[in-house]
Amino acid sequence: MNRNIFALQRIARRTFSSSGRRLENHVPQKQKRFQENDGMPIHLKGGVSDSLLYRATMGITVLGGAYVVYELVKWGCPKKA
């Protein structure tokens, strides 16, 4: 009876679907990837998606910063009525 229960447990734990892969421990692979000596700073070390996100963020920073300076200069120098 116990042998059957153990066999059932073993089968239940086997997962062939992608949801099983998601529950696996991928930390060792990540550790290997992020410890590669490629000279990249941490915020770009993850690959292309890092660069895209960085560029989008910096783009908003520069454009937004310029817009705020423009607004502040406009507010600081009101036109005479």
Partner 1 sequence: MAHQAHAYHMVDPSPWPLTGAIAALLMTSGLAVWFHQHSMILMAIGTVLMLLTMYQWWRDIVREGTFQGHHTPPVQKGLRYGMILFITSEVFFFLGFFWAFYHASLAPTPELGGCWPPTGIFTLDPLEVPLLNTAVLLASGVTVTWAHHSMMGGDRKQAIQSLTMTIVLGFYFTVLQAMEYVDAPFTIGDGVYGATFFVATGFHGLHVMIGSIFLAVCLLRQIKHHFTSGHHFGFEAAAWYWHFVDVVWLFLYVSIYWWGS
Residues making contact with partner 1 (CB under 8 A)? 23, 25-27, 30-31, 33-35, 37, 41-43, 45-46, 53-54, 56-58, 60-61, 64-65, 67-68, 71-72
Q: Which is nearer to partner 1, 3 or 14 (CB)?
A: 14
- 57 near 64, Cβ under 8 Å? no
- Residue 1: CB minimum distance to partner 1, A: 25
- Residue 81: CB minimum distance to partner 1, A: 17
Amino acid at 59: G
CA distance 58 to 64: 10
Q: Which is nearer to partner 1, 8 or 71 (CB)?
A: 71
CA distances from 12 to 7, 20, 21, 24, 67 (A): 9, 12, 15, 15, 59
